[in-house]
Homo-oligomer: A and B are copies of this chain.
Amino acid sequence: MAQSVSAGNQTYHHGDLRTALVDAASQRIEREGIAALSLRKLADDIGVSRSALYHHFRDKNALLNAVAARGFDQWLSMTQDRDQAQNIKAHERLKQFVHGYIRWAIAHPQLYDIMFGRPIWKHKLADEELKEIAFPAFQYMLNLISDWQQQGLLLQNEPALRQTQVIWATLHGLAKLIIDGVYDDSAHIDDMCNCAVAMLLSQHRET
Please report A residues at the B interface, Cβ cutoff 8 Å. 35, 113, 116-119, 121-122, 124, 155, 157-159, 162-163, 165-166, 168-174, 176-177, 179-184, 188, 191-192, 195-196, 198-200, 202, 204, 206
Which residues in B have their C-beta under 8 angstroms from that of A181? 118, 121-122, 124
Which residues in B have their C-beta under 8 angstroms from that of A198? 155, 157-158
Which residues in B have their C-beta under 8 angstroms from that of A124? 181, 184
One of B163, B169, B179, B192 near A162 (C-beta < 8 A): B192
Closest to A154 in B: B199
One of B118, B119, B168, B191 near A179 (C-beta < 8 A): B118
In the bound assembly, the distance between CA atoms of A106 and B98 in angstroms comes to: 27
A180 lies within 8 A of B122 (CB): yes
Most buried by B among A169, A183, A188, A202: A169
Which residues in B have their C-beta under 8 angstroms from that of A174? 165-166, 169, 173
Q: A157-B206, A200-B199 are in contact. Are A165 and B179 (CB under 8 A)?
A: no
Q: A118-B181, A181-B118, A199-B200 are in contact. Are A192 and B176 (CB under 8 A)?
A: no
Most buried by B among A113, A116, A188, A200: A116
B168 lies within 8 A of A170 (CB): no
B182 lies within 8 A of A116 (CB): yes
In the bound assembly, the distance between CA atoms of A69 and B165 in angstroms comes to: 30
A177 lies within 8 A of B169 (CB): yes
Q: Nearest Cβ in chain B — how far from A3, in angstroms? A: 28
Most buried by B among A119, A174, A195: A195
Q: Nearest Cβ in chain B — how far from A109, in angstroms? A: 9
